[in-house]
Amino acid sequence: MTTTIPVEEDLLPSEADVRSYEEHGWYLSKKLFTDDEVDALVSASEAFYAGARDRRLGKRPSTLAYWEPSDGAVQRHNDYIHYESDPIAAILRKPIVGAVAARLARTDEIRLFQSTLIYKPPRPDEPSNLVPWHFDRHYWQTCTSDNMLTAFIPFHHCDEEMGTITMVDGSHRWKEIGGGDSTSRHFAHRDAAELDELLRENARYNGVELRTVPMVIPKGHMSFHHCRTYHGSGANRSSRPRRAISLHLQDGDNRYRRHLLSDGTPVTYNHEHFVRRAEDGMPDYSDPDFCPVLWTSNG
């Protein structure tokens, strides 16, 4: 007898929702987390910022996003939060999140790929709060999949005043121009004006007018975006910090692939420092410690 983890069918995207995701490149979910779960994310993140760790990453590669109090009142990013914080991981691993992603990606299995804890301080003029236009597939050139997606999970109602995530509608279906070597570098290390121009150039090339959609996300809901959907976000003009997790997800088929820059240098992703090796000696993107299965349709 096979057992399937029960999830509430009502909370899953309908066939029409999945088609809309395929057309627009983003989806706003139903309420997947209770208020108590969302509040628990706030307290667990505060404990984390104060130094609590259930496990520690063995290394700090220079490319790792890892805010520490000595970095001050800039935007905070902490990668691998699901590895270092058990209370946060427990909530992120609720089956409904993976089940929603599986429906959207029309796949049978969803594994976690990466998760980043994010905090935008309530400082309207703080330049590090601005997230320039980018799409996540650029960071994942060592992945075989073109079907990966991200859940953006705020810890409160999140709207434009707080600098919510903003999607460029339908951009995941664009043909790409100008996607050179530099696209694999994280946006924090790139020139925002250059990225802005790259987006405009791509829109022109595809003969479309830019339509940006700020995601207004009620507490407990989350937004999903396809790995080729351009997105970014603005200043936090509110009086409260904008707290969130960016939960990057891979479909079951995703594997490591070697990817070279034009000068022959291999592209690297931080997993290479952490995950176990597969039989072929390559980084294993299904290492259960770092990339656990969140959902599989056969239980």
Ligand X SMILES: O=C(O)CCC(=O)C(=O)O
| Positive or negative: CA dihedral 296, 6, 151, 53 | negative
Which of Fe ion, ligand X, none does residue 165 bind to, with CB < 5 to 8 Å depending on kind? Answer: ligand X
Minimal distance in Å, beta carbon 244 to ligand X? Answer: 6
Report if residue 184 touches ligand X, rule: CB under 6 A: no
Q: Which of 193, 166, 75 is nearest to 124 (CA)?
A: 75
Q: Write out the binding residues for Fe ion, residues 33-52 only, by CB under 5 A.
A: none
Q: Which residue lies nearer to ligand X by CB, 241 or 296?
A: 241
**Tokens (6 digits) for 95:** 């089956």
Which of ligand X, Fe ion, none does residue 118 bind to, with CB < 5 to 8 Å depending on kind? Answer: ligand X
Minimal distance in Å, beta carbon 14 to Fe ion? Answer: 26
Report if residue 45 touches ligand X, rule: CB under 6 A: no
Report if residue 143 touches ligand X, rule: CB under 6 A: no
Cβ–Cβ < 8 Å for 34, 181: no
Site size for Fe ion (CB under 5 A): 1
Which of ligand X, Fe ion, none does residue 139 bind to, with CB < 5 to 8 Å depending on kind? Answer: none
Cα 253 vs. chain centroid, distance in angstroms? 18
> Could you please report the per-residue DSSP string of 119-177?
EE-S-TT-GGG-EEEE-GGGGGTTB--S--EEEEEESS-B-GGGT-EEEETTGGGSPP-
Report if residue 79 touches Fe ion, rule: CB under 5 A: no
| Residue located via tokens 């009142």 | 73
Q: Write out the binding residues for ligand X, residues 100-119 only, by CB under 6 A.
A: 118
Report if residue 169 touches Fe ion, rule: CB under 5 A: no
From the list 26, 152, 224, 285, which residue makes contact with ligand X (rule: CB under 6 A)?
152
Q: Which residue lies nearer to ligand X by CB, 152 or 155?
A: 152
Minimal distance in Å, beta carbon 170 to ligand X? Answer: 17
From the list 45, 78, 145, 150, which residue makes contact with ligand X (rule: CB under 6 A)?
150
Report if residue 131 touches ligand X, rule: CB under 6 A: yes
Report if residue 233 touches ligand X, rule: CB under 6 A: yes
Beta-carbon count within 10 A of 176 CB = 15
Q: Which of 109, 70, 114 is nearest to 89 (CA)?
A: 114
Site size for ligand X (CB under 6 A): 9
Burial 10-46 (b: 16+ CB within 10 A, else e): eebbeeebbebbeebbbbbbbebbeeeebebbeebbe
Minimal distance in Å, beta carbon 58 to ligand X? Answer: 25
Minimal distance in Å, beta carbon 280 to Fe ion? Answer: 29
Minimal distance in Å, beta carbon 298 to ligand X? Answer: 29
Which of ligand X, Fe ion, none does residue 131 bind to, with CB < 5 to 8 Å depending on kind? Answer: ligand X
| Positive or negative: CA dihedral 184, 188, 193, 196 | positive
- Which residues, in sequence order, are CB contacts of 242 under 8 Å at separation 6+? 118, 119, 120, 122, 154, 158, 162, 163, 164, 236
Binding positions for ligand X, rule: CB under 6 A: 118, 131, 136, 150, 152, 165, 231, 233, 246
Binding positions for Fe ion, rule: CB under 5 A: 136
